[in-house]
Every structure is written in structure tokens, then in C-alpha cells.
Amino acid sequence: MTELQEVQITEEKPLLPGQTPEMAKTHSVETPYGAVTFTVYGTPKPKRPAILTYHDVGLNYKSCFQPLFQSGDMQEIIQNFVRVHVDAPGMEEGAPVYPVGYQYPSLDQLADTIPCILQYLNFSTIIGVGVGAGAYILSRYALNHQDTVEGLVLINIDPNAKGWMDWAAHKLTGLTSSIPEMILGHLFSQEELSGNSELIQKYRNIITHAPNLENIELYWNSYNNRRDLNFERGGDITLKCPVMLVVGDQAPHEEAVVECNSKLDPTQTSFLKMADSGGQPQLTQPGKLTEAFKYFLQGMGYMASSCMTRLSRSRTASLTSAASIDGSRSRARTLSQSSESGTLPSGPPGHTMEVSC
């Protein structure tokens, strides 16, 4: 049985004129793999899934998702959904450092903590949004609990266990790089890291000076020891819900996501390859990602086009779509947002969108 402690009540989002404050409540729930902290924003909406996020290594829910969920256009979407932002154990703000020798959960075990959260909240279904390790965890959860997952947005997913070549490379890098630098190399492209933009400086500073760096290393080790998800096109082990795969075209995990796309059901999978977004599109291109998320939700029947008239009209960008079941980049058709009709392109998944900025 799960046990819940309410530890904090906060309201952190700056309000727009005319907006009423939205409650954010942070909870901690006991699970078979230790306490897990999560923060709930908004109130449950009848007959709608919760949006549940899971962050990547080196980050927590805020440093991973705040720019996306606080971006302007996202507000119109999230007012229709309650959000549950999970912090991996030991990653929550103020987390104490685990004692030496602490047995940190594997990614599969972290996926097994999600039912404890949903059970406590009495939520029956989710749309998962995960990045890197978080995308893997949500995929594992979806494989085990497919009836409870209505959709998945998977950013930078690598569904494969490390092979011996990867391990050799990892060990070699470990000889010359610190843990923070290795994690930064997982999060961002080499080009971004050498460019040393303000964003990179900010995240380098966050990770290098993290008071819970020992905990971060444990999550990093769990990520590197992940099992293969064994996705197989046409096989039994596959994601049954609509999936939007997202990766930056220069991102460290671009190849892994392309391969993942080739293994998933093309009728259920959309592949969004983002130009100029670097390794963390949710940080660098929240507007573009929000737009794609909107189409994704619309394809699932959740965002009527009438709800999105203002969003649509406020846009000048276009999305280029290429019919693809294998990650190829052939440009078959272009979806442009219509500023005249006020509708947005939507439809079933099963295509590649390349978003240029």
C-alpha cells in the first residue's frame, strides 16, 4: 500500500492578466523502491487523462520541463489537463544525499513506481511526456500497463541497452571526463557544448554544483545499465498507444530515435525531427514542440480545432511532413498552418515532421 505525505504547497507560475492562480502541490509517496516525489499542477478534468512527465538524468522536473510548460502557447493546452511531474528519487529539490552503497532503483523499477503515484491520486490514464531516461521509464511503464497510457511523447529515447562497444566508449570517456561532463554530453550536442551559450553555462552550472551530485550519478548508472526495451515492429513487444517521437537533428540520440521509429508501429507513431533545436528541444524550442504536441492531442481527439483558433492565428511557421515508416527524410507533403481557416493540420499518427526554425 502506498503512503502519501504532502510536503509543500506552492504557486510558482507568474500569472497572465485575468488568469486565476493554479495550485501546485508537491507530494511524496512511499513505493517498494523508496520515496518518490511528484508535483501536481491544476485540477483533474473529467474524462481526460493526466499529463505525466518524467525528466532525464542531471535534471529534475523543473529544470527539464518548466520552459515547456510555462511557454505562452502551452497555457491553452494545459488548462485542459491536470499535470503530474515526477522527480526521480533523490532528484527533487532539497533531496538528501543517499548513503554510500545505497541500492538505487533500476529504470524498470522506477517505471514500477508509477502505479503507486496513480493509485494514490486515483488517476486511471495518462499521456506521458518523457525525456531521455524519463522517456525510457514511461515506455517501460506503457509496455507493462498499456491500458492506462493514452499517448506518449518521447524525446531523445534510446530503447537499446548499451552494447559492449558502447561500454568501451563509455569507459574510455570516463577516463578523461567528469560525471557532470559525461551527463552534459548525454544532454547536449558537442556543437552546443563547445558553443557554450548561456543555456549551456546555466545547465553546466546546475549539474556541476548540484548538492545531490552523488544521487545524480546513481540515476546515471541506472540509465547506463538499462535493459533493451526489445521493441519489434509487428511483434508482441510494442507500444500500442499513439506515440510522438521527438529528437533534434543534431542531438546526441538522433540515430537511436530514428532506429526506435523504425521498430514502432507506423500507424501509431509520429516522428518529429527538429532542426536547430540541439539536444533538449523542450528547452530550446518550446514553441515548436508545443505546436506539435497540439497536433498530437488533436489527433487523439482532445483539442478541438475551435479551441486552437487563437494559437493557429498567432503562427507563421510551417511544419513539413514526410510520409515515412522508417525515418527517411523524403518530403512528401507539407503541412502549413492556415491563418485563414483557423484550423490546424491533424490526423492519425504515422508520419515524420521536420520542423525548421
Q: Under the rule (CB under 6 A), what is the footprint of ligand BEZ?
A: 13, 41, 62, 65-66, 69-70, 78, 83, 85
The smaller minimum CB distance to ligand BEZ, of residues 36 and 182, is found at 36
Closest residue (Cβ) to ligand BEZ? 69
| Calpha distance 225→54 (Å, rounded) | 18
- The set of residues, in sequence order, having a beta carbon less than 8 Å from that of 72 and lying 6+ positions away, is 287
3-state secondary structure of 28: strand
| Beta carbon of residue 144, minimum distance to ligand BEZ (angstroms, whole number) | 25
**Residue labelled with grid coordinates 556543437:** 191
Q: Which three cell numbers stand for residue 152?
A: 506518449
Question: How many helical (H) and strand (E) elements, i.e. helices and strands, does the chain have?
Answer: 14, 12
The smaller minimum CB distance to ligand BEZ, of residues 78 and 86, is found at 78
The smaller minimum CB distance to ligand BEZ, of residues 85 and 263, is found at 85
The smaller minimum CB distance to ligand BEZ, of residues 41 and 295, is found at 41
The smaller minimum CB distance to ligand BEZ, of residues 82 and 244, is found at 82
| Beta carbon of residue 66, minimum distance to ligand BEZ (angstroms, whole number) | 4
| Beta carbon of residue 61, minimum distance to ligand BEZ (angstroms, whole number) | 6
| Calpha distance 357→319 (Å, rounded) | 10
| Calpha distance 284→267 (Å, rounded) | 29
| Beta carbon of residue 23, minimum distance to ligand BEZ (angstroms, whole number) | 10
Question: Residue 22: exposed, middle, or buried by beta-carbon count in 10 A (0-12, 13-18, 19+)?
Answer: middle
| Beta carbon of residue 13, minimum distance to ligand BEZ (angstroms, whole number) | 5
Tell me how far the alpha carbon of residue 276 is from its chain's centroid: 18
Q: Are strands 126-131 and 149-155 parallel, antiparallel or unpaired?
A: parallel
| Beta carbon of residue 275, minimum distance to ligand BEZ (angstroms, whole number) | 25
